[in-house]
Amino acid sequence: MLLKDRVALVTGGSSGIGLAAAQRLANEGAQVGVLGRSEDEVRSAAKTITDSGGGALPLLADVSKPGELQAAIQEFIDAYGRLDIVFANAGINGVWAPLEDLTPDDWDMTLNVNLKGTFLTLKYAVPYLKAQGGSVIVTSSVNGTRMFSNTGATAYACSKAAQVAFAKMTALELARFRIRVNVICPGAIESKIRDNTERKNLDRVRQRVEFPMGEIPLTDGRPGTPEQVADLVLFLASDLSSHITGTEIWIDGAQSLLQG
Ligand code: NAP
């Protein structure tokens, strides 16, 4: 048990990468807070974990809404009394469109969930992490860090690029409290995120490398799985990575090296 007695918050824990990570952390002994916007989905995710013998609490909040998020984190702290691990993973693809078609509201929605949501998650979690130290993992992407060929995904890529800067800034700020902050950059991973992408008029701006249909050299084109990302999250959450902080790790089967 790598995470015995640890308490872990997973945002976007009700599906995809977050759900797989929540299950993996719970399997290693952590008590997990599964946070998302849909009550049915967070309850069902937490139940899956408790049914298999792990500890989990469903938490309802939109990460872009300060009041909701602060209340959910407080509820989690009230239940377990401490916080050791934060997986700031909730995110959306948002609207992918040529610049002229991307509205100011489209831009704000993506940045509010992906970037402001990451900031708010850390802001409200950090006072509890400071009590004993801990590990933070942020989910960025290959988009905006090593891949710039998804034309139209500008707001998404900018939000993901900024998450890397955010992780590095906070890694240094929080190091003296023995809080590590790292950022993972997945390539194409099987999840429902693409089904929720709103695409407008992309045919006007591409030359597009369809995501995830482009090549992934390591797997002959097959996307990665949420479980493979969960293994990386476990490594970064645990003491196996005790001297690693302020670092981004790409998990993409070399996709971004080919398609950058
Ligand atoms: P997913 O299956 O759609 O999961 C996203 C999760 O985030 C869901 O639990 C969703 O719950 C939650 N969420 C979205 N907006 C939220 C909000 N405002 N407040 C709280 N929770 C919110 O997608 P995924 O692929 O696992 O994505 C997880 C992360 O990986 C994202 O940050 C994404 O950008 C990143 N990523 C994914 C890929 C990929 O290929 N899958 C590649 C690179 C990076 P509800 O919608 O039910 O609230």
CATH (domain of 224): 3.40.50.720
Does a structural domain hold residue 242? yes
Does a structural domain hold residue 98? yes
The C-alpha atoms of residue 175 and residue 7 are separated, in whole angstroms, by 19
Domain count, the chain: 1
Does a structural domain hold residue 156? yes
Does a structural domain hold residue 129? yes
Does ligand 1 lie within 6 Å of residue 59's CB atom?
A: no
Neighbours of 86 (CB within 10 A): 29
Residue nearest to atom 24 of ligand 1 (CA): 16
Tell me the residue range of the domain where 161 lies. 7-259
Does a structural domain hold residue 103? yes
In eight-state DSSP terms, residue 226 is H
Q: What is the pTM of this model?
A: 0.97
Does a structural domain hold residue 1? no
Mutate to test the pocket of ligand 1, among 40, 140, 193, 197 (most ligand atoms within 8 A of CB): 193
Does a structural domain hold residue 2? no
Does ligand 1 lie within 6 Å of residue 189's CB atom?
A: yes
Does a structural domain hold residue 243? yes
Residue 88, C-beta contacts closer than 8 angstroms, at least 6 positions apart: 11, 117, 118, 121, 122, 136, 137, 138, 139
So which residues are the catalytic ones?
Answer: 156
Mutate to test the pocket of ligand 1, among 166, 191, 196, 225 (most ligand atoms within 8 A of CB): 191
Instruction: Give residue-wise pLDDT tens across range 42-96.
Output: 999 999 999 999 999 999 999 999 999 999 999 999 999 999 999 999 999 999 9
Instruction: Give residue-wise pLDDT tens across range 232-257.
Output: 999 999 999 999 999 999 999 999 99
